[in-house]
Amino acid sequence: MGQFISWLVEKLKQSQAREQTRYFSKLLTHRKFSELESVTGVPIKDKSYYIQALMHRSFLEQNPNFAVSNERLEFLGDSVLNLTVAEYLFEVYPDEDEGFLTKVRAKLVNRVALAEGAERIGLSRFLLVSKNLSSTFTYGSRTVLADAFEALIGAIYLDNGFDGARNFIKKNLVEPSANSGEHLIDENYKSQLLEYAQANKFENPFYKVVREEGPQHNRMFTVQVEINGQAYGEGKGRNKKSAEQSAAHAAMTKINQSNGNS
């Protein structure tokens, strides 16, 4: 009896696997995989890694037969990404200290840079997301894209090893930023505003949320920054931290303009 149950369970698993394969062949056709190979520049040997990398957790809510989203691969890809960028900076800037290297690495691997990397290869057209998210994708997509880009790195690492992942990261993330010099620009506007306030013996900047809009899964925060009780700038973001940076950016722009700086 026990052997029969084991046999039956195995047959059910095989049937489910075949059904998933047929289902995925409709979502990610051979042509899609060929396109993905073309944009990533790496050969796809095991398609299952990439299917998982492209599967957002919202997709699982409407397709309960599939149990694993891209979050585990995102974790793996994040580690591969940080090692690759650290190695690159260590070689390119032999005379810079740990503080500089850490700061520049953070700039190269932040969510904005990852989302831009994903947009650069058109990753959104390959993603498996829920119908609800798909209909509003343009409004809250950058976080989803950034996460999927890291998951894709994880898939490439498992399928093509560290060299394959490193080449992909350099080509699609590091080199575009390095060529433009963007990774050397200080965009920590909160830090700049704090330095300005302290240099002029003002009170430290105070940030407050003045408005929250949108549904819970797609929130938009508006933050105002004040110094000595006076409003200096206002900014928006998908979270409070990014909204504060946006407000500080607006404040620094106002300060520079009033001082006659560009």
Euclidean distance between CA atoms 124 and 81, whole angstroms: 20
Euclidean distance between CA atoms 134 and 128, whole angstroms: 9
Euclidean distance between CA atoms 34 and 134, whole angstroms: 23
- The answer to whether 40 and 152 are in contact (CB under 8 A) is yes
- To the query of whether residue 150 is one of the catalytic residues in this protein, the response is yes
The one catalytic residue in 35, 71, 78, 187 is 78
- To the query of whether residue 78 is one of the catalytic residues in this protein, the response is yes
Query: Which residues on neighbouring strands pair with residue 213, listed in sequence order?
Result: 220
- If you count DSSP H runs as helices and E runs as strands, how many of each does the chain have, helices first? 12, 3
Query: Which residues of the chain form beta strands (DSSP E)?
Result: 206-213, 220-227, 230-237
The one catalytic residue in 74, 116, 147, 150 is 150
Euclidean distance between CA atoms 115 and 97, whole angstroms: 28
Q: Which helix (H) or strand (E) holds 182?
A: none
Q: Which residues are catalytic?
A: 78, 150
